[in-house]
Amino acid sequence: MNRLWKITAWAFVALISMQPSVRAQRSMVNESLLQKLQMAEIYVNNLYVEKVDEEKLVEDAIRGMLEKLDPHSSYSTPKEVKAMNEPLEGSFEGIGVQFNMVEDTLMVIQPVTNGPSEKVGIIAGDRIISVNDTAIAGVKMTKEEIMRRLRGPKGTKVKLGIVRMDIKDVLSFTVTRDKIPVKSVDAAYMIRPEVGYIRIGSFGATTHTEFVEAMEKLQGMGMKKLVLDLQENGGGYMQAAVNVANEFLSKGDLIVYTEGRVTGSQRYEAKGNGRFMDGEVVVLVDEYSASAAEIVTGAIQDNDRGFVVGRRTFGKGLVQRPIDLPDGSMIRLTVAHYYTPSGRCIQKPYTKGDKKDYAMDVYNRLKHGELTSIDSIHFADSLKFYTLKQKRLVYGGGGIMPDFFVPLDTTLYTKYHRQLAAKSIILNANLRYVDKYRKKLKAAYPTFEKFKETFEIPQSVTDNIIKEGEKKDIKPQDDDELQRTLPYLKAQMKALVARDLWDMSEYYSIFNERSAIVSKALQVLKAEPEPDSQPLP
């Protein structure tokens, strides 16, 4: 019986976790079908012509059941569960450095402020060449293996060998591992007078706390309007999204509701204790904004609390219930749908069992012109909904349609640029430049404001990027493609240098000045002159 525990446990755990009224209906479960499944596993394991991996056999059986349901019901191994939960839980245990690989050597970009590495004297630019006297540089060790060696339980010690510029000998540091925070608010700064900008990368356990801290900081700097950037935000915890939306809405305003066959209907309403219930808000979204990000966006749009700028969101409106299995693995089973306050189902259409077509949805949008031309966007009358207060027209059909459409600029990201980025030529050029000139840059630009206003990437740096590309047979198609690539490349390099000298807020402060979506948001907030607008048809 021991070999059958997983294949049966998932079913019983699922039943036990349900409401009492559901458990009372356990008689509805056809025990002969469960028996059939058990017998199939026994016979395959004992009689098949070749020896089978029983663990994999059981896991494949579980995956086989789930993949015929919907695109988001899934099974995860214990290792996958840990990797999936870590960014959402708000912390992990390790040495506390941001790093990148330069060729085959780990280089510290920044130590985490007040983290264990900073406390012992590790600084930006240091190269970690050994961990507990085992070489990790020059031995072609994978990034995953290096991270495994650096991470460990809080309180444990790890000995690091460090090479530092201008110091001949290898330095030795003993770092006591600790809890390292994982931030989900990527950036927060004043983008214009009285206009704040906050970017949320995902919705995790600490997102609401981080968001409130960012808002209070910006309000202290005079923020009266807010650009809330949820582009490329793949979602996370629903409760974190509800808490963030609550900061903008009046008491009793509906944030989101769910409908499920077994779970019934659940409503989530604002408490009326938000910290930004009056200032103007614009939410930025794109085709990769999903799930929890769509909950916040839909709540703000449907309650006429603010406008949405960008492109239609991903359309992930299926509610998963996590079901933990005894060995640390997990089933995430879809139990309900998300609906915006106006009644729009967030989930885009899908065919059960056809995950390939579902995964190609964004590509198909690009192919059909939805991402690049407003003229390609059409809606059936059945997809029309109205906001709750001002009765503005909004659209269903999966995802959140913006109030103001901003097309994807396919000319901005040239094929040449994409190839340079894919081969890490741009990133490596940035790392080498900052590594070589960090002290001089810090001395020349004591403040970010001076850096942003006056710094330009030297021509020699872009020349070297072009040469490195040529070495890997990456060349522009013609001079026109090169000239279209250079302005964006230089802006990207400047933003990366700012990130390495300061942090992500400074990166976005530079990067956003070239963003059409951000520019449109500022126009909607009347913080910039507005050209011809493109409201949805």
Q: Is the separation of the CB atoms in 317 and 337 below 8 Å?
A: yes
Q: Is the separation of the CB atoms in 286 and 309 below 8 Å?
A: no
**Which residues, listed in sequence order, are joined to residue 174 by a DSSP beta bridge?**
159
- Cα–Cα distance between 252 and 180 in angstroms, integer? 37
Total Cβ atoms within 10 A of residue 215: 23
- Cα–Cα distance between 412 and 416 in angstroms, integer? 11
Q: What is the DSSP string of 186-227?
A: EEEEEEETTEEEEEE--B-TTHHHHHHHHHHHHHHTT--EEE
CA atoms within 13 A on the CB side of 46: 8
From 117, 184, 291, 505, the catalytic residue: 291
Indicate if 291 belongs to the active site: yes
- Cα–Cα distance between 535 and 395 in angstroms, integer? 13
Strand 127-131 relative to strand 105-111, pairing: antiparallel
CA 441 to chain centre: 31
Rounded to 10°, the helix 479-501/459-471 angle is 120
From 6, 316, 494, 520, the catalytic residue: 316
Tell me how many degrees the CA angle 437-438-439 measures, rounded to the nearest 5: 95
Q: Which amino acid is at 323?
A: I
Give the DSSP H or E segment for 453: helix 448-454
Indicate if 316 belongs to the active site: yes
Q: Which amino acid is at 120?
A: V
First to last CA, the chain: 62
Strand 330-339 relative to strand 318-324, pairing: antiparallel
Indicate if 302 belongs to the active site: yes
Q: Report which of 408, 380, 407 is spatially closest to residue 396, judged by C-alpha positions.
A: 380
Q: Report which of 287, 447, 439, 304 is spatially closest to residue 370, judged by C-alpha positions.
A: 287
At residue 68, φ and ψ (nearest 5 deg) are -90, 0
Residue 259, helix vs strand vs coil: strand
CA distances to 116, 158, 295 from 151, rounded to whole Å, are: 12, 9, 34
From 286, 302, 500, 503, the catalytic residue: 302
- Cα–Cα distance between 220 and 196 in angstroms, integer? 11
- Cα–Cα distance between 494 and 510 in angstroms, integer? 7
Active-site residues: which are they?
Answer: 291, 302, 316
